Amino acid sequence: MTDSGWMLYKRLLGYVKPHWRAFALAVVGFVIYAASSTALAEMMKRLIDGIQNPDADFRFFLPLFVVLMFASRGLGTFLSTYFMAYVGRYVIHTLRCDVFAHLLHLPGRFFDQHSSGHLVSRVTYHVEQVAGAATN
């Protein structure tokens, strides 16, 4: 990434900074999901070992392990998806407000030279694309 690209990305991440707690919860959700995915491999190993050498502990702990693993995967998925969407929506809202505030201060000649469809596209679609880069 070039220096100007990095500076632009840092500026864009500045919009995420007010929502750092939600962003941190999303990262925690990603970590929980990754850990539970790793636990899936361990569960498969124990399942194969338990089938080959069955004992009472295996019959008791494997169902608990499966339930806990899938519950943690669900929790991780929920946290990461919900809070990343939360941050993304607020970044989009803030960007749209900033663009709209800037448009309000432009001279009338600017609006004569640019079509309304192009301006609406900038406020809606282009802002959505830029905000997606900050949260994805």
DSSP-derived letter for residue 121 is H
DSSP-derived letter for residue 18 is G
Give the class (CATH, top level) of 3-135: mainly alpha
| pLDDT score recorded for residue 29 | 96
Domain ranges of the chain: 3-135
**92-115 per-position pLDDT tens digit:** 888 889 988 998 898 989 888 888
Q: CA distances (Å), 44 to each of 48, 59, 61, 92, 132, in order?
A: 6, 14, 13, 42, 37
| pLDDT score recorded for residue 135 | 59
Residue type, 4: S
**56-79 per-position pLDDT tens digit:** 777 777 788 888 888 999 999 999
